Chain A
């Protein structure tokens, strides 16, 4: 196959681990579970994998330990880490490697056990590395995930009049979807009143504005389009991809905008599409405010109108204009390894294949978007956007 130029790259396998609590497993065995699940879903063999992509949740040095654990023979590997957005970036990187002829069938895995290990990443300030240049200027102040995102919400409310009730609609939509997902951690439908009467964790975010903590994982397999065409599964092509890093820009920044403003623009340009063409959207939902800001930045509504866009059930499948996170998302279903990007891709693939839960399946879904933010909206983060189409 030397000098072969593939037409494109497609997602041929997708698998979400059914567990939400896995005290008697290991992170490595969960990676293996999801890898084998995606391989079975694709209808290929482990020996077909020649590219492997993972991120900071994988145990060991980059891809080395999991490659050894699974016995992979690789011509290409990548361990980009931009937190929960990594897996969307890795799908794009896998496509680029395939288009460059560096590999043919790429496996991407995510797995973790934060629930079993008692990780409280949302409320506990943490240091990733003592040599982080910003750490001495931030760690003394107790900025964690939840109060960082809360500061974004507070400023959005100040600038645009966004309300807690509007943010609550994002959780309400997730809960309407999760009631149909037997595996979701939280399956009860909640109301706006339930959300705003739940305890404040960090003003203005309430407990029900925050995602769940679960164990679990997921995997995606990307392959050359001609290989995808030999398989029996519906074909999901990677039509557009964009990546961006947003940071504090030397102290001159706007917390009401995310890196999605750039990554989304790049992805839509590559796809030759706009937000108005998208039939289903997976939007990273670490907190309700995360969804609202990304929807604006991706162009689903103008900046500042996210509150009005999400209210009155507009994100609920079968009811609103933009079905969003139809598996229940991080707010209700799962958030394995505290990284929600993988599950966003998987639900978009399900929608495009027509394999979502019947009650939330978008009719004849042929164009979907998956979007992730990894790191913190309030300091520095990676943003990654994928536009996927069924062909």
Chain B
């Protein structure tokens, strides 16, 4: 089996503006913020659009699919874990962890999808794992 992330995830400090994101995460839904004024989607989610400064931003549901932009295996930590930037289908690139992944087989550009792991205090935090391709599934059989 792969090197499953067993590292304890620190609990994010949730505020009133970010609560909808974390409430959705608990239901297994990844939200992004999009700007009603200029139409662009940004990360990390905030009240003011970083492209046009409009405060007319709204939550939109993401597909949860993306590709690995870059990553690093934190070997020094026990247990080791993988930090990564994942480029979402919707455009923005997000900081995350890769889980359920063989450290030696991670590749920049590989397809991943979101899942949610509980933090130390039970907040569901989005992380990503490789998409199992048909080829890989066949190989496993």
Interface set of A (CB-CB < 8 Å, partner B): 123, 125, 130, 133-144, 146-148, 150-152, 154-155, 158, 199-205, 248-253, 255, 379
Known pairs A147-B74, A253-B93; A140 contacts B12 (CB<8 A): yes
B9 close to chain A: CB less than 8 A:
yes
What are 30 A-B pairs with beta-carbon distances under 8 A? A133-B46, A134-B44, A137-B43, A137-B95, A139-B13, A140-B9, A141-B9, A142-B7, A142-B77, A142-B83, A144-B74, A147-B74, A148-B72, A151-B83, A154-B70, A154-B108, A155-B69, A158-B109, A199-B75, A201-B75, A201-B76, A248-B93, A249-B50, A250-B40, A250-B50, A250-B92, A251-B43, A252-B91, A252-B92, A252-B93
Interface set of B (CB-CB < 8 Å, partner A): 7, 9-15, 18, 40-46, 49-51, 69-77, 81, 83-85, 91-97, 108-109, 119, 125, 127
Complex contact A137–B12 (CB within 8 A):
yes
Shortest beta-carbon distance, B116 to chain A, in Å? 11
- Chain A, Cβ-Cβ closest to B32: A251
Q: What's the Cα separation between A142 and B9 when bound, in Å?
A: 8
Q: What's the Cα separation between A205 and B74 when bound, in Å?
A: 10
Q: Which residues of B contact A139 (CB under 8 A)?
A: 10, 12-13
Complex contact B7–A136 (CB within 8 A):
no
Complex contact B42–A123 (CB within 8 A):
no
Complex contact A151–B75 (CB within 8 A):
no
Complex contact B71–A154 (CB within 8 A):
yes
- Chain B, Cβ-Cβ closest to A149: B72
Q: What's the Cα separation between A205 and B44 when bound, in Å?
A: 27
Contact partner of A141 (CB less than 8 A), chosen from B11, B41, B83, B92, is B83
Complex contact A140–B72 (CB within 8 A):
no
Contact partner of B72 (CB less than 8 A), chosen from A133, A136, A203, A252, is A203
Shortest beta-carbon distance, B47 to chain A, in Å? 10
Contact partner of B94 (CB less than 8 A), chosen from A125, A205, A251, A379, is A251
Q: What's the Cα separation between A189 and B45 when bound, in Å?
A: 48
- Chain A, Cβ-Cβ closest to B85: A151
Q: What's the Cα separation between A200 and B15 when bound, in Å?
A: 37
Interface pairs A-B: 7 shortest CB-CB: A251-B92, A251-B43, A150-B72, A250-B42, A136-B12, A250-B50, A137-B44
Known pairs A150-B72, A251-B91; A140 contacts B11 (CB<8 A): yes
Complex contact B9–A146 (CB within 8 A):
no
Complex contact A136–B42 (CB within 8 A):
no
Q: What's the Cα separation between A135 and B15 when bound, in Å?
A: 11
Shortest beta-carbon distance, B41 to chain A, in Å? 8
- Chain B, Cβ-Cβ closest to A200: B75
